[in-house]
Amino acid sequence: MISKAMQDAINEQINKELYSSYLYLSMAAYFESKNLSGFAHWMRIQEGEEREHAMKFYDFLLDRGGQVSLKVIDAPPATWKSDIELFREVAAHEAKVTGLINALYELALKEKDYPSQVLLQWYISEQVEEEKNAAEIVASLEMIERHETAVLQLDHQLSKRGKD
């Protein structure tokens, strides 16, 4: 049985993961509106990963005899000043999610909830990858910021995500 404190915290994290999914779907729509289908493709894959993360927490709660309590998902923004500003937001958002996962792990330690600790180890590793991916794209965009053809080349590269 999972503690009430851990159950409540995981329910909050489900909401945060679903918001992340919603955010990336909004970003995909933004890129589609700019005819950058590769960027949109990357964001759609990212959206799916975030939804999977939410469902992993969802299933974990149910497996532990907990109660899932879905909450309202805040509306994400729909426009950004530039592509690089959008990806800077992605990087900042992933850093925030890392902090949330770390706080959940701290709670699992306090509660001596070993199954949650095991689950959260996976998320901790996943967040290292998420932050790295966002940082690499920001760095690439910073290098090519003044060259539109280079943005199109990066867009083409991003469109290949998940197709290998």
Fold of 4-158: Ferritin (1.20.1260)
What the block records as the tokens of 110 is 């306090």
- pTM (2 decimals)? 0.88
- What is the per-residue pLDDT across 87-119, written as a single tens digit (0 to 9) for each? 999 999 999 999 999 999 999 999 999 999 999
Asked if residue 96 lies in contact with residue 104, where contact means CB atoms within 8 angstroms, the answer is no
- What is the per-residue pLDDT across 48-96, written as a single tens digit (0 to 9) for each? 999 999 999 999 999 999 999 999 999 999 999 999 999 999 999 999 9
Report CA Rg, the chain.
Answer: 17
